[in-house]
């Protein structure tokens, strides 16, 4: 069935949460952070991820890939379903806007972060804890990530940041992940902006991202009691679009 990539809507949130949780179940970073399966609470983490996805809907560029029936006459929506809801969600990407480090955080952004904090606090109270999250390891990772950002994120204009990229298992290796990345890297090329992402899967993810123009800029090593998780920070420089190439050629000719 054909797949289309469209901006996420609030109605997509439950399917987005399920897609992300399923895709990251075998992720090395996720398994390192949630290191005790006996303490893991799926319900608590659905609530937490729902809060984060809702934040992303209001503060980031969120795209979903949907497998659409070739004919809604052959596969009509269920009663009460819209045509959009009848499509099956098979992939997700979320991109944060570039944030120049010299610019102060806006009041809107501050309020949105505060609102996310309140929602997560309510989740902690409701579910009596963090749902199996190893808080110590979480802060180890945040500290190492901050160190990496200080060293490699030097562009004063900021970066398009890929915060989430998830594709259903049966849709992998079919080019869908590339499409969910290119929807933003193409825009970054037009604007001459760099892009940033992180992956804890050396194989096959890092090589796949290299094929999209990303290069490893920093290897984040998180260690706790001899248990190590590596996260690869990757940066993509913008490629010149055809109009920009033509402009550069004209400027070069004019300067001769």
What pTM was computed for the model?
0.86
- Residue spans of the domains in the chain: they are 3-255
DSSP string spanning the chain? Answer: --EEEEE--GGGHHHHHHHHHHHTTT-HHHHHHS--GGG--HHHHHHHHHHHHHHHHHHSEEEEEEE--S-TTTSPPPTT--HHHHSEEEEEEEEEPP--TTSPPPHHHHHHHHHHHHHHHHHHHHHTS-TT--HHHHHHHHHHHHHHHHHH---TT-EEEEEEEEE-GGGTTTTHHHHHHHHHHHHHHHHT-EEEEEES-IIIIIHHHHTTTEEEEEEEEEEETTEEEEEEEEEEPPPPPHHHHHHHHHHHHHH-
Spatial separation of the C-alpha atoms in residues 60 and 98, rounded to whole Å: 10
Taking alpha carbons only, the member of 91, 30, 37, 97 closest to residue 65 is 91
pLDDT at 174: 87
**Look-up: residue for tokens 């562009």?**
155
- What are the tokens at 231? 């996260």
Per-residue pLDDT of the chain (256 residues; tens, 9 = 90+): 689 999 999 999 999 999 999 999 999 999 999 999 999 999 999 999 999 999 999 999 999 999 977 644 455 554 554 555 558 999 999 999 999 999 999 999 999 999 999 999 999 999 999 999 999 999 999 999 999 999 999 999 999 999 999 999 888 888 999 999 999 999 999 999 999 999 999 999 999 999 999 999 999 999 999 999 999 999 999 997 655 555 555 555 555 5
Give the CATH fold of the 3-255 domain.
Aminopeptidase (3.40.630)
């Amino acid at each position: 069935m054909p797949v289309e990539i469209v901006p996420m809507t609030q109605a997509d949130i439950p399917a987005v949460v399920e897609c992300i949780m399923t895709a990251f179940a075998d992720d090395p970073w996720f398994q390192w952070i949630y290191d005790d399966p006996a303490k893991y609470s799926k319900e608590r983490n659905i609530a937490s991820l729902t809060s984060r996805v809702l934040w992303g809907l209001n503060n980031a560029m969120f795209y979903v890939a949907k497998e659409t029936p070739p004919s809604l006459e052959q596969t009509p929506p269920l009663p009460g379903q819209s045509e959009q809801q009848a499509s099956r969600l098979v992939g997700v990407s979320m991109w944060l806007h570039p944030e120049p480090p010299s610019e102060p955080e806006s009041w809107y952004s501050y309020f949105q972060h505060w609102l996310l904090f309140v929602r997560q606090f309510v989740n902690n109270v409701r579910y009596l804890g963090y749902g199996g999250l190893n808080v110590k390891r979480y802060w180890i990772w945040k500290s190492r990530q901050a160190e990496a950002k200080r060293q490699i994120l030097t562009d004063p204009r900021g970066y398009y940041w890929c915060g989430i990229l998830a594709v259903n298992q049966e849709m992998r290796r079919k080019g869908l992940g590339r499409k969910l990345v290119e929807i933003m890297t193409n825009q970054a090329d037009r604007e001459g902006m760099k892009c940033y992402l992180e992956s804890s899967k050396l194989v096959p993810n890092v090589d796949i991202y290299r094929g999209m123009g990303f290069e490893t800029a920093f290897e984040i090593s998180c260690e706790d009691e001899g248990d190590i998780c590596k996260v690869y920070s990757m940066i993509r420089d913008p490629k010149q679009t055809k109009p920009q190439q033509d402009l550069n050629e004209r400027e070069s000719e004019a300067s001769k």
